[in-house]
Structure 1
C-alpha cells in the first residue's frame, strides 16, 4: 500500500499568499522570505514613496511582477495561459507547477471589509497526484491525476476573474515545450494566418512600423496575443514574397 506523501504546505499569514505560493511550489520552507520579496519590490520600483508591487502597509499583497522576478532567481519562468485555449494542450511532463490568481474577500478579524484583493494559489504534482496547495486551506487538497487536473483547470478558467500562470524552466519557456507540439504547430499557423490577414487588411507599407506597434506582453489583457518577433517577421517575409 502506498504511503501518504509528505507535502509542505504553508498557511496564510497577513497578505503573504504570494510568498506562501512560492514556498509551496518549491516544497521547501524558507525558499523565499518576506524580506526577499520586499527587496524585489524595491528593485522593480526604486526611489518611490509607495511601492506599486505590494500593499501600502507593507503586509504583502505582492503582484505578478514580484512572483515572476522571484521565479527567475530560481531559473524558472511564469507563462501566462490564454484561457481561450484548451488546458488539454498542456504538456504536463514539462511543467513544474501552476500559480492560479483568484479574487478574494478581505477580512479584518471576523469583519468582512469592502475591499477586493487578489489571492495566489499553487497547484503542483507530488508523487503522481496533483494537489491544490492554497494557503487558506487547512490541508492540501487532492485534485487527482492528469485528467483530473485538466478538468479542474477548465472549471477554474471558466471564471473571467481567474488567471493561470504556468511555471516552467527557462529552457522549456524558450522552446515552448509546455505545450504539446501538435497544439504548438496549430498555434503558430493561427498566428501566421492572423498576421497575414492583418497585413492585408491594413495594406501596411512599412514592416518596421508594423513591428514597432506590437506591445509587450501584458498579463492583464486576456485578448493580447503572445506573438514572437520571429513569427511576425516570417509573416512579413511571406507577404512580401507574395506581392
Structure 2
C-alpha cells in the first residue's frame, strides 16, 4: 500500500468548494465537475423552484448568496450534489443514522462511494459550518478523500471505515450513499 496514495486523485480544499473537490475526488477525475458546471446546476435548481421570487426579491444579498450556493466562495448545498450525481447516472440514498454504519454494505458492487456532510467549527468555535467529505474504495482499499487532508488517508479495513462513519454520525454528520444506478 506504500506509495499507492500517489495514484489516487485528490483535490485539496480551496475556499468553500468542498463539494466540487469531493465530487471530483469521488469520480477520481479533476474534470468530472467544474465550478461553472456546479453553478449551472445551482442556477437550474433556482429556475425550477416555484418559490424563487420570494428569495430573489426579499434577500438583500441575493446577488451573492443564492438558494443553493454562494457565487463567490462556493458552499453548495445537498440539492446541487444530488442533481450533479444524478446527471452522471448515479443515485443517492440518505443513510438512516439510527441504523449505524454496520448496516452499510461496503462490499456492494452498486456502492460507488460515501459522501458525508460533517459539522465543522473553526476559529475557536466562532464560525460554524458544514463540510463535504468523500470516502471511496479504490483498487480494493477504502480511502478518506477529505479535501482538508494533505493526502488521501487509507483505512486498514472495513471495520475502520465503519468506526470512522459511526464517529461522524455521532457528531451530527449526514451520510449519503452514492450508488451506480
- The answer to whether the superposition gives a TM-score over 0.5 is yes
CA contact (8 A) 1:16 1:60 kept: yes
Q: 2:96 aligns with which of 70, 75, 82?
A: 82
Moved more, 63-72 or 96-105: 96-105
Deviation at 1:115, TM superposition (A): 3.1
The equivalent of 2:59 in structure 1 is none
- Give the Cα separation in 1 of the matches to 2:122 and 2:159: 33
Q: TM-score, normalised by structure 1?
A: 0.62
How many angstroms apart in 2 are the aligned matches of 1:36 and 1:53?
13
**Residue-by-residue CA offset, 1:63-106 (whole Å, 9 max, x unaligned):** 00000000011100221111100322222223110011111235
Matches within 5 A, 1:188-207: none
Asked if residue 128 in structure 1 is aligned to residue 144 in structure 2, the reply is no
Aligned to 2:180: 169
TM-score, structure 2 normalization: 0.82
Distance in 2 between residues matched to 1:139 and 1:27, nearest whole Å: 14
Structure 1: unaligned runs, 5 residues or longer: 171-243
Number of positions where the alignment pairs a residue of Structure 1 with one of Structure 2:
164
Structure 1 residues 151, 115: CA separation in 2 closer, same or farther (over 3 Å shift)? Answer: closer
Is residue 99 of structure 1 aligned with residue 115 of structure 2? yes
Quick check: which has more Rg, 1 or 2?
1
Tell me the distance in 1 between the aligned counterparts of 2:73 and 2:13. 12
Q: Which is richer in helix?
A: 1
Distance 2:122 2:168 in 1: 21
Distance 1:61 1:166, change over 3 A: same
Q: CA deviation at 1:162?
A: 1.0
Which shifted more, 150-159 or 57-66? 150-159
Q: Distance in 2 between matches of 1:54 and 1:2?
A: 38
Separation in structure 1 between the aligned mates of residue 174 and residue 125 of structure 2, nearest angstrom: 23
Distance 2:143 2:136 in 1: 6
Q: Which residue of 2 aligns with 1:181?
A: none
1: CA distance between counterparts of 2:22 and 2:154? Answer: 16
Give the deviation of 1:137 after TM superposition: 0.8
Q: Aligned to 1:164, what secondary structure does the other structure show?
A: strand
RMSD after superposition: 2.0
Question: Any unmatched runs of 5+ in structure 2?
Answer: 57-61
